[in-house]
Structures are given as structure tokens and as C-alpha cells.
Amino acid sequence: MHNTLAQLIAERRTVKPDTFTGEIIPDTQIKEILEQANWAPTHGYTEPWRFVVYHGEALRSLGRFMADYDQPNKETEDFNEIRYKKLLEKPLLSSHVIGIAMKPNSNPKIPEIEESCAVAMAVQNMWLYIHSLGYGAIWSTPGFAFSDAFRDFMHFDESHKSMGLLYIGKPSKTNPVGRRLSSIDNKVRWES
């Protein structure tokens, strides 16, 4: 690898919460991670990323939302208690979970897709920085990720869209070598 940034980009991995050690990351470092998001570029300084940091007891209410969204009716015959409990406790495996949202601008010259791109860049900034600190993360987009129900859970009004969750923790092992299904050469055409 030629330089540190290229190495960080290649070695960042998706790290799942069930492989986190349970170590709690200091809030000061979470704040630093969020600062990196704010350096993402935007068209017209729209800065559409919005986040909610869940930590401590708040992870329990997030788990309750996830379990209830998945199985709203506990009285039904096919209610799966084990699945419910797993979702209920899932956020507790992480040190912090960041709810991701977007507040699109109202300028018709800047379409919403640009705002989604900017939020994704903000998340990647955080993800790379998390990796550089020796922590791990996963951007998770389950069924509720883009729902109004999740937006409401995060207490964002209707001018916002929800975009999933970033689970953060300390990985219990070194990141595996990544894989890509095909090389960049298959995704680029050079014209000259």
C-alpha cells in the first residue's frame, strides 16, 4: 500500500455488533467521529446530515423500537419470542449507535439524490475515522431504515428522511481482508 489513507480505505471493514468486545468508547471520541461527518462536501453548503447518538439506557429504547417494528403484535400465533428478544438486545452489543437522517434542502436546483450522496459521504468519513481509531462499525439498513416510523422514533419531523443506523464498537479481532466481486477495471471505461 502506497500511503496511509489508501491503507485505511482498503482495511476498513464492516464489523458486526456480535463481534464487538463490549468496550465503551469515550463520548469525547464519539464527538470526534461526528466532527469528521461534518467535513463531508455538499452542493451549496446544504449539510443535510442529521444524527442521533444512542448510548446507555437509550440503546434499550432503540432495541424496543426495533423489536416492536419487526413484530408489532405479540398476541399472534406466529410471534417469535427468540427473534423479538434478539432485536431487543441487539443495540446493547454496541458502545454507541448513531441514527442516520437527512434533511434535504428546499432549493429545486439541488435534487434530493445529491443530499443522499452527501449523507453517505458523511457516513464514510465517520466509518474511516472509526477504523483509524481501532474501532469498528456497520451501516445497517434493515426494513425500518427508511421508514417514517424510524424517523419519528428519532424525533425528526416530516422534513427529514431516515437512512439507517451506524453501530460502533471495539472489534474483538483484527479485520479480515476485504473482498470485491470484480476489479475496478471492470467498472471503468477509459475514453481518449
**Which residues of this protein are in contact with ligand FMN, per CB under 6 A?**
13-14, 138-142, 178
Residue whose grid cell is 489513507: 5
- What is the largest distance, in Å, between two alpha-carbon atoms of the chain? 65
Query: 24 or 133: whose CB is closer to ligand FMN?
Result: 133
- Closest approach of Cβ 191 to ligand FMN, in Å? 28
Kind of pairing between the strands at 136-140 and 49-54: unpaired
Distance, CA of 184 to CA of 66 (rounded, Å) = 37
Distance, CA of 174 to CA of 124 (rounded, Å) = 20
Cell numbers at 132, concatenated: 483509524
- Closest approach of Cβ 14 to ligand FMN, in Å? 4
Query: 72 or 178: whose CB is closer to ligand FMN?
Result: 178
Cell numbers at 102, concatenated: 437527512
Amino acid in the structure at residue 29 = Q
- Closest approach of Cβ 28 to ligand FMN, in Å? 26
Query: 104 or 171: whose CB is closer to ligand FMN?
Result: 171
Cell numbers at 70, concatenated: 419487526
- Closest approach of Cβ 13 to ligand FMN, in Å? 4
Query: 21 or 141: whose CB is closer to ligand FMN?
Result: 141
Query: 24 or 121: whose CB is closer to ligand FMN?
Result: 121
- Closest approach of Cβ 140 to ligand FMN, in Å? 4
Query: 184 or 190: whose CB is closer to ligand FMN?
Result: 184
DSSP 64-97: HHHHHHH---TTSTT--HHHHHHHHHGGGGSSEE
Distance, CA of 120 to CA of 102 (rounded, Å) = 10
- Closest approach of Cβ 80 to ligand FMN, in Å? 20
